[in-house]
Structure 1
Amino acid sequence: MSRSPSDFHTYEDDVSTTNYLSPSHHHSHPPRSSTDPTPSTEQAFEELRERIKDDSFFRMRRFDALHVLKRAFYKELDYLKWAYAAACPDPLDLNSSSPSELVFNKRIPEIDRTLTGILALRWLRNNDYDLFTQNQATTTKLSRRSFQQLRSLFDAGLNGYRDHEAVFTLIVMQMTNDLGKSSRLEAELQDRLPIGMRPSANHDMVMEQVLQYCDSLIPSFQRLPRQQKVLVRKLIRLSAEFNPGQLVQAECLPAALNVLQELRIDPIELDMKFMELFLDVAGARGHVDHEGAATMTEPTFQGYMEARIQSLNVVEGHLQPEQAYERMLQHRLRMLSNAGYRGDFDIRSPKVSAKARLFCMGRVADATTATLYDDVYEGLPPYIRGRLERGLSLHARPAVQPTYMPAMLSWVRGPSLGLREEQLAVLLTYLSRVLDLTEENLPHDVEIVERDVKGILEPLVQSDAFRKDPYSIVSDNTELPEMEIAKRSMAPSRSLRL
């Protein structure tokens, strides 16, 4: 698709910035207070509000819209310079400048992801299907029908974009939803936490801690009306226990859905959360492809819409969390059956349930990949299959949430089927160890333990050696991630590192 000259510009920013591409999460902390100029004044936020009210925010050039956001969210963007972003396989070689290059004159991954999500909101508002689906593969491209369904969800939730406070709040939510990944914000939070307490390893829980102990660190939150502050606090509290994206990828457990009832989330609040989620997913590959909503393909859209339907069933009391979760797994199996996969579909079987969760984690959307997973699973030693079936059971207590495992499975790729089978086999074997709590001495009331595999696995799966000889890179001697209690029974969850 040809690009108009107004869509992409190079820009020499007048703000000097440090190289923010190298810091990684939980490594050495940056300075706790920024020396950059801070033009995030009341005037900058009012400019954004006015642009939303007169609809010009959605009509202006991309370059101008990004600079309106830069002025309004200067401090939030400064935090994102220090945020980690999971690497993606198969980055595109683009000629156009990324959003961060347009506003800071250098590529900053998490800023590109965040701002691409906002650009996706503009594409939805402007009914720009071609831009939204730019660079998507033909076989998985979002259909026009699904694009219109997505537009209808946003039109209804934002009252045709006439509910200006809702639009402003949604933009604030998208601009802040990944701030918990920032090592700078983490350092500033640590200074303000009670003695003996430290920031959570879960970035959603970090944001909950920030709003609880030092919400003044987030200027845009301060600009929200009281009612919208209450909503955002509630939805961040929801995210700390229930991330709908983890439901789609079957990372979380059915118990995570209990918080929908515990917090008394209503359908309007749920849709606000899902609109934020759709923008977040739309920008998820923004650091490697900012020209469209690369990740919001047809299979992805269908998965997230199903998550919305099942979450709504829980909110309205039609289903119990475990029933809703089973329906998510059944949806994945139906999708694969329609794609030509032939397998066992009895979700009551521990093996089928485990495979269905693995299909979700691996974002499996075609019969060929499903068959690969099936063959590799059946070829694993019985004791490993047993650990997987116990650990992936919907009835496991306590259960493990293997955070970032879907991102690690996306690195299963190679020039031959044999290599892909080996890569998948070693990752599933590692996952079986992550899920195994048989020798752990946990408190009796623990329901969910989170284990974040990113820090250990990511450098391994990205290596050339993993692509050539995965067994030499990931083995039974590979370190396991530390555990963090994510949910206790009959009590509000409070993160506790073990």
Structure 2
Amino acid sequence: MSTSEPNTKYRKLDKTSFFALEDDKEVLHLVHDRFAHELERLKRAYSISNSNAKVPSTKSPSQILFGHEYDEVNRTLVGLLSLRWLYNNNYDTFRGAQPEAVALTRESFNWIRDIFKTGLKTDDDFIALLTSIVVNDLGKDPQLASDYCAKTGEDISAQNHDHILFKAVEAGLVPSFNRLSKGEKADILRSMKLGAELNFGQLAQAENVPVSLTALLELRERPRIFELGFMEQLLDIAGAGGHEDWTCAKVMIQPVLDAYRNVFEASQGVIAGDIGLRDAYDLILVRWGHKLKERGFRELKITNNHDRALMRLLCMGRVTSLETAQLYDSALEDLDVVTKTSLIASLNVDGSAGQPAVIATYVPALFTNGVGADGAGSSDEKRRRVQSLMRYLSRVLKLDDVPTNSSAAVIERNLLEVVQDIVDSNEFRTNPEVLDKQKVPGGVIPDY
């Protein structure tokens, strides 16, 4: 139940009410009225929290609706509010208190805004996008996989949350889909399938592998599917810091937008048939390397396996400063030969039925939480942490537990529990070598 009822002339959620209402609180209540079931699921969704975050003094969206803090509810609803700020040209609100050095520029805000102004032509377009945003993280609710198993007899709990959502929607477990037109249902389902096969966020930070882009080849006659999925992903990132700051799009800073713009251009190139999968993937790496070169870092060559592996590590670690880039570079160089050779080789596997690649989900959180995006700590402490994480990643990316007769092109290992239980602990901060004793999560073959 919501904690208060809004006093508004609008009694339903549509494009007009969503953008015309002046009070965000009234909009949140209209969203709750339409998506009550989905928001209840989001209360149970798992998340990675930062206990040191300084939250605003104002009530969060979940406080307004439920009188309690729910991280994934806040992240989702801030994504929705970000759509309002974008569409209504509220640049100052969208940018908020982002650090000046990395704050989103007005030009970049306008680029994002143009995508939504072009993509949201009708009420059906708008409701389809809103539905996509609200349901995006429902797969993080453990109960959804349980409900699916109870209905179908199939256990999908080991799959990634995007795939769990896709299967649950197909099974009729997400009520908001019943109110969509047949065409919009089909578009969203295809967009979800794209998201399960190719997560744009993973591509932006080189978390996945070139074979993951294969899904784009199917969209050459359906550009609308990509458009819908990309809009949803932009808003997912805009709301990603909503559990820590619900007053702005905290995470959508300029370096993040640059990475997503690269994803947009690489994906469009594949869809248009102008560029191959490996070259599209490498475009992400090369542009990240160029940004670091502008800050004084050495030039990295994409044709050199050592440099290309380092590029992936820098992307996955969200490294934007010269000092931290140099830290990663020297840490990789000084690893023991066996570990370094294995890690570099694994980071250069594209993924195929003959040579599957491992996708380590939550590896960006592994590095950013374990080291800090800016490498907080003394030089020795940072080096120990980075090398511990690299040693662990070298074990994660091996294929020791994959059946020899498997035709899978990718294997997924979920590092969420490692991040939460080990890397976020004080023990890791004081003794990074504790990770050397940590077991590697089992590999899961995605069921696309």
Q: Which moved more, 1:415-424 or 1:280-289?
A: 415-424
Correspondence for 1:48: 13
Is 1:274 the counterpart of 2:230? The answer is yes
| Structure-2 separation of matches of 1:155 and 1:350 | 41
The 1:265/1:405 distance shift into structure 2, 3 A limit, reads: farther
Q: How many corresponding residue pairs?
A: 437
SS, match of residue 47 in structure 1:
coil
In the TM superposition, residue 164 of structure 1 has moved relative to its aligned partner by 1.7
2:328 to 328, 353, 373: 373
Correspondence for 1:292: 248
In the TM superposition, residue 443 of structure 1 has moved relative to its aligned partner by 2.3
After superposition, residues 250-269 of structure 1 pair within 5 angstroms as 250-262=206-218, 264=220, 266-269=222-225
The 1:88/1:202 distance shift into structure 2, 3 A limit, reads: same
In the TM superposition, residue 12 of structure 1 has moved relative to its aligned partner by 7.8
| Structure-2 separation of matches of 1:395 and 1:408 | 22
State the one-letter code of the partner of 1:268.
Answer: R
In the TM superposition, residue 440 of structure 1 has moved relative to its aligned partner by 4.3
| Structure-1 separation of matches of 2:88 and 2:312 | 36
| Structure-1 separation of matches of 2:444 and 2:221 | 25
1:302 to 241, 258, 276: 258
Correspondence for 1:137: 99
- 1:299-344 deviations in whole A, cap 9, x for unaligned? 00010011011011111111111110111111111111122212x4
| Structure-2 separation of matches of 1:153 and 1:12 | 33
In the TM superposition, residue 87 of structure 1 has moved relative to its aligned partner by 2.3
For the 8 Å contact 2:316–2:364, the answer to whether it is kept is yes
In the TM superposition, residue 223 of structure 1 has moved relative to its aligned partner by 0.8
- 1:367-426 deviations in whole A, cap 9, x for unaligned? 222111111111111111111111100445211001000011111144322212211111
Correspondence for 2:435: 474
The 1:244/1:89 distance shift into structure 2, 3 A limit, reads: farther
The 1:296/1:366 distance shift into structure 2, 3 A limit, reads: same
Correspondence for 2:309: 354
In the TM superposition, residue 201 of structure 1 has moved relative to its aligned partner by 2.5
In the TM superposition, residue 143 of structure 1 has moved relative to its aligned partner by 0.8
Structure 1's consecutive aligned runs of 4 or more residues displaced over 6 angstroms after TM superposition are: none
State the one-letter code of the partner of 1:13.
Answer: T
State the one-letter code of the partner of 2:358.
Answer: V
State the one-letter code of the partner of 1:305.
Answer: R
2:177 to 204, 221, 227: 221
For the 8 Å contact 1:456–1:479, the answer to whether it is kept is no
| Structure-2 separation of matches of 1:73 and 1:359 | 38
Correspondence for 2:347: 392
2:167 to 186, 209, 225: 209
1:126 to 82, 88, 95: 88
In the TM superposition, residue 134 of structure 1 has moved relative to its aligned partner by 1.2
| Structure-2 separation of matches of 1:481 and 1:56 | 43
| Structure-2 separation of matches of 1:335 and 1:89 | 31
SS, match of residue 409 in structure 2:
strand
Give RMSD over aligned pairs. 2.0
The 1:177/1:46 distance shift into structure 2, 3 A limit, reads: farther
Q: Which runs of 5+ in 2 are unaligned?
A: none
The 1:326/1:239 distance shift into structure 2, 3 A limit, reads: same
Q: Percent identity?
A: 32
1:419 to 377, 381, 387: 381
Correspondence for 1:491: none
- 1:230-262 deviations in whole A, cap 9, x for unaligned? 100101111111101111111111111111113
| Structure-1 separation of matches of 2:250 and 2:312 | 24
State the one-letter code of the partner of 2:233.
Answer: L
Q: Which runs of 5+ in 1 are unaligned?
A: 1-10, 16-44, 487-493
For the 8 Å contact 2:220–2:272, the answer to whether it is kept is no
Is 1:191 the counterpart of 2:150? The answer is yes
SS, match of residue 129 in structure 2:
helix
For the 8 Å contact 1:123–1:132, the answer to whether it is kept is yes
The 1:182/1:440 distance shift into structure 2, 3 A limit, reads: closer
Correspondence for 1:174: 133
| Structure-2 separation of matches of 1:121 and 1:93 | 21
Correspondence for 1:401: 359
| Structure-1 separation of matches of 2:359 and 2:266 | 20
In the TM superposition, residue 137 of structure 1 has moved relative to its aligned partner by 1.0
For the 8 Å contact 2:78–2:246, the answer to whether it is kept is yes
Is 1:93 the counterpart of 2:43? The answer is no
Correspondence for 1:463: 425
Structure number having the greater helix percentage: 2
For the 8 Å contact 1:400–1:449, the answer to whether it is kept is yes
SS, match of residue 484 in structure 1:
coil
In the TM superposition, residue 219 of structure 1 has moved relative to its aligned partner by 1.8
In the TM superposition, residue 99 of structure 1 has moved relative to its aligned partner by 0.6
| Structure-2 separation of matches of 1:177 and 1:294 | 19
